[in-house]
Structure 1
Amino acid sequence: MKTISISKLLPGMFVQSVTKQTGSIKVTNQGWVKTLESIDKLKRAGILEVIIDPSKTLVDTVFEKDSITISLEKIKRDPWQKTVSSEQEMGKAKKLYDEAKTLQLKAFKDIEAGRNINIAPFRELAGGFMESVFRNQDALACLTQMRQKDAYLLEHSINVSILMSIFAKHLDIEKDIIIELTTGALLHDIGKIKIPDEVLNKPGRFTEAEFEVMKKHSLFSKEILEKAGLTGVAVDIAGMHHERLDGKGYPFGKKGDEISQYVRMASIVDVYDALTAERVYKAGMEPIRAFKILKDGCPDSFDSVLLTKFIQCIGIHPVGTLVKLSSQKVGLVTESNPSKPLKPVVKTFYSAKHSRYTQIQNIDLSSKKTLDTLESAIKPKEYNIDLERFYKNSILS
């Protein structure tokens, strides 16, 4: 057997297996490559290196055109596969999250100054988010739960972007499209910078006139991105994430098949993060309650199939959720468990029974040695827990 570069592969050689590639393609059978067309097909599939059997090379043979004996098949990704631990990924994830905040602030200043925003760093950041999610989605997912009440405009778009990347990975969407989805989500609310503060930050219900002003932010987002040279999926997400399947959304009143799968995904993620977000004038709700509102409160507004898949990939108690166990221990969900969603890994640090902080302990609720069970999701204020301090000292340290 001999290992060769794909550039040295010639018609008549017998391919035993693939040893190096950039794509997610597998060769489903061994065989002779009989034409240049078949070799080109392997190159386009991202094959870089193969093992050949020189003893089987066909010599002085006239090959028929398109006589390809090697068929290509896409490898089905395991959406839950993790190549590093969440602890290993957390440092990179935090750096990406901080970079996103800096980029958002710069974009806001550029718009206020009448300048076009630079899309390139946002697309690069989107790629960083995606790669982090593919290494271990739990790290970035955890960061989306670190809410600051006075930073909603910044954090919301970042969180939607991260959740879109996780969602797209679970739907097995191609990586180049995931980057576009993630870029669009990062910038989907950029138009809010043009909404007057008295409307944007109003704590109560909008008047009809105020709501009409607020609804313009989607159009502003679309215009800003188009002026910056962005097109396609990312612009659709920015301009149409408030459209609804029943036609009652805005700004265009589109409905049903007029709304693409990608926009349907964005609308689900956008509302979910808005419902669970902490704001100066409103406490965020538990994820399970937000899911119920999305499913039952407005059943005709969202794609039910996509919504179910989103809940499956995020989990009933998403990573970063504060929970209380049957033992009255309190902790954060730090690792998801897709096969047993009610049995994640929880990092406990507080006793609800004794109202005091305790020694940090990682409890795998799926372990046969663990008698503890997950009782409920809770809010930090229920026990006066300084969650931000815990994050800094125990999660990000």
Structure 2
Amino acid sequence: MAIEQAKISVDDLQRGMFVSRLDKPWTRTPFALQGFYIRDLEEIRQLQKYCRFVYVDIHKTVGSAGVTLRRLMNASSASIGQGRGSSARTVITIPSRPVVISHKAYPPPQPVQREANTARKLHGQILYGMSEVMGLVASNRPLPVQQVNQVVEDLVESVLRSPDAFAWLARVRDKDEHTYSHSVRASIWAVLFGRHIGLTRRELVQLGVATLLKDVGKLAIEGEVLQMKQRDPRSELEYRKFVQHSVKMLAADPKIDPEVINIVRGHCERHDGSGYPSGLRGDKIPVLARMCGIVTFYDEATNPRGSSQPVAPSRAVAKLYDLRGIAYQEQLVVEFIQAIGLYPTGTQVELSTGEVGVVVEQTYDRRLRPKVMIILDREKRELSRPRLCDLAEVEDREQKLIERGKMSAQEKMSILRDIEPGAYPQVDAAAVRDSYLFRGGRLGQLLTRLTK
């Protein structure tokens, strides 16, 4: 099935348009996604810097922009092109009502350092709590439901104040990380996601608790089956029973919120009906369960089993994006990517200058312009004094120079790409985290030098 596209000048772009193709290769732009919805003016400004026109998917474009484009299409007054390779993908429409989104439900985030100590303390409490939960489940004793709910409520309040503080803890691995840290990381991503789309506090707690407890049923599965890298059909069927085991364990406790059980029951279902245990599809899957499925996939993609380091976020995002409209609802996939940013806090990046650093804090109204701690110079040599670079402020200064004719748009500093952790041994993201968030941490001298 061919994709119908309209050739649009970058000066005529509007929010809600789905950009499916550029007038130049994607690799020559900072856009990591080959196809995305325009969500804010910053994305339009970025497109205007790199392109003269783009191709917009008429049928995926939403809102008033979509109505206008389809009206022009029917009148045969739009320039239509065919996307390269577009006929190779068959598009299957699965009934799915749009999820109500509210990006302004909560106040702007506080500075990350203000929340860092609280977040670190809570993270330790969650890890300890999960250790206790797993021990109790293994011995068939009641779950500490009240304590789990309380720690997730505290997590929600912390993320509402400053998402970046917990994003650091989800992104950067420590050497003594526990085996159940996947559930903890996924729970953090879930609450970050929920904050972004404007879930209520109660829904955030339900989603956080469910994501934290979704794997308790794996204790009822043979360890040999859990550890298999490639499962044969019989082993795969045995593995999939963990969902029913989790539901049964949680349902046995009358203090567990029924909505938490519904999320756990549905988090392995897939948009196209290919999931389990019931093969639900589209709107039959609860919204919070769909979100739990997305964050679970993302964390497993960024932290492959058996790997000592997480992978670059762009790889995980690309895998997730390829499954939009198939395994996961497209709208929610796009919103999740918007929630974490193309370069999540803790990501190692290379700048257009050749310098290498770590994203230390997001700029929430300009996601492509975070704050970066630069560790290596353009020759990839370690700096004697790491340098904090606020790309949003840099862009503002450079824009003034461009307006005065003192530099060209092509010379502007930007993030060129993200880097696999471990590619440069001199870059220790955990050390950067501790020095940036916690003055006096194990590399407190780094921040001391920076602020002299």
TM-score by length of 2: 0.66
Question: 191-200 vs 78-87, which deviates more?
Answer: 78-87
> Residue 261 of structure 1 aligns with which residue?
287
Contact 2:193–2:336 (Cα < 8 Å) also in 1: yes
SS in 1 for 2:373: strand
> Residue 378 of structure 1 aligns with which residue?
419
> Residue 26 of structure 1 aligns with which residue?
none
| Aligned AA (2:219) | I
Match 1:225 to one of 250, 259, 281: 250
Change in Cα spacing, 1:184 to 1:309, as seen in structure 2 (3 Å) is: same
- Rounded to whole Å, the distance in 1 between the matches of 2:180 and 2:437 is 21
Contact 2:309–2:421 (Cα < 8 Å) also in 1: no
- Rounded to whole Å, the distance in 2 between the matches of 1:98 and 1:149 is 14
Contact 1:323–1:374 (Cα < 8 Å) also in 2: yes
Question: 241-250 vs 286-295, which deviates more?
Answer: 286-295
Change in Cα spacing, 1:358 to 1:80, as seen in structure 2 (3 Å) is: farther
**1:6-25 matches, cutoff 5 A:** none
- Rounded to whole Å, the distance in 2 between the matches of 1:161 and 1:269 is 8
Structure 1 residue 201, shift from structure 2 partner: 2.4
| Aligned AA (2:158) | S
- Rounded to whole Å, the distance in 1 between the matches of 2:354 and 2:156 is 36
- Rounded to whole Å, the distance in 2 between the matches of 1:257 and 1:387 is 40
Bigger Rg, structure 1 or 2: 1
- Rounded to whole Å, the distance in 2 between the matches of 1:228 and 1:149 is 35
Change in Cα spacing, 1:290 to 1:205, as seen in structure 2 (3 Å) is: same
Structure 1 residue 278, shift from structure 2 partner: 4.9
- Rounded to whole Å, the distance in 1 between the matches of 2:119 and 2:183 is 16
Change in Cα spacing, 1:382 to 1:94, as seen in structure 2 (3 Å) is: same
> Residue 111 of structure 2 aligns with which residue?
85
Change in Cα spacing, 1:251 to 1:352, as seen in structure 2 (3 Å) is: farther
> Residue 397 of structure 2 aligns with which residue?
369
Match 2:204 to one of 172, 178, 183: 178
> Residue 189 of structure 1 aligns with which residue?
215
> Residue 429 of structure 2 aligns with which residue?
387
- Rounded to whole Å, the distance in 2 between the matches of 1:152 and 1:303 is 31
Question: 287-296 vs 260-269, which deviates more?
Answer: 287-296
- Rounded to whole Å, the distance in 2 between the matches of 1:124 and 1:395 is 25
Match 2:349 to one of 323, 329, 351: 323
Q: Deviations over 1:227-272 (max 9, x none)?
A: 2221322112222211012111011211222111111111111101
| Aligned AA (2:120) | K
> Residue 123 of structure 1 aligns with which residue?
149
Match 2:131 to one of 100, 105, 116: 105
| Aligned AA (2:232) | T
Structure 1 residue 194, shift from structure 2 partner: 2.1
| Aligned AA (2:194) | A
SS in 2 for 1:366: helix
Structure 1 residue 286, shift from structure 2 partner: 2.2
Q: Deviations over 1:294-329 (max 9, x none)?
A: 222464111101111111111111112111112332
> Residue 205 of structure 1 aligns with which residue?
230
Q: Deviations over 1:9-42 (max 9, x none)?
A: xxxxxxxxxxxxxxxxxxxxxxxxxxxxxxxxxx
- Rounded to whole Å, the distance in 2 between the matches of 1:90 and 1:119 is 26
Structure 1 residue 183, shift from structure 2 partner: 1.0
Change in Cα spacing, 1:83 to 1:168, as seen in structure 2 (3 Å) is: closer
Structure 1 residue 135, shift from structure 2 partner: 0.8
Change in Cα spacing, 1:116 to 1:291, as seen in structure 2 (3 Å) is: same
Contact 2:358–2:432 (Cα < 8 Å) also in 1: no
- Rounded to whole Å, the distance in 2 between the matches of 1:101 and 1:221 is 19
RMSD, aligned CA: 2.2
- Rounded to whole Å, the distance in 2 between the matches of 1:100 and 1:381 is 27
**1:289-328 matches, cutoff 5 A:** 289-297=315-323, 299-328=325-354
- Rounded to whole Å, the distance in 1 between the matches of 2:147 and 2:258 is 18
SS in 1 for 2:306: coil
Change in Cα spacing, 1:200 to 1:393, as seen in structure 2 (3 Å) is: farther
Q: Deviations over 1:204-236 (max 9, x none)?
A: 211222211211111111112112221322112
| Aligned AA (1:175) | R
> Residue 242 of structure 1 aligns with which residue?
268
Question: 250-259 vs 296-305, which deviates more?
Answer: 296-305
SS in 2 for 1:380: coil
- Larger RCO: 1 or 2 (CA < 8 Å, sep 6+): 2
- Rounded to whole Å, the distance in 1 between the matches of 2:227 and 2:176 is 10
- Rounded to whole Å, the distance in 2 between the matches of 1:303 and 1:217 is 24
- Rounded to whole Å, the distance in 2 between the matches of 1:101 and 1:195 is 22
Structure 1 residue 393, shift from structure 2 partner: 4.4
| Aligned AA (1:87) | Q
| Aligned AA (1:219) | Q
- Rounded to whole Å, the distance in 2 between the matches of 1:303 and 1:275 is 18
Structure 1 residue 276, shift from structure 2 partner: 0.6
Match 1:147 to one of 173, 185, 206: 173
> Residue 65 of structure 1 aligns with which residue?
none
Structure 1 residue 190, shift from structure 2 partner: 1.6
- Rounded to whole Å, the distance in 2 between the matches of 1:166 and 1:145 is 12
Structure 1 residue 137, shift from structure 2 partner: 0.7
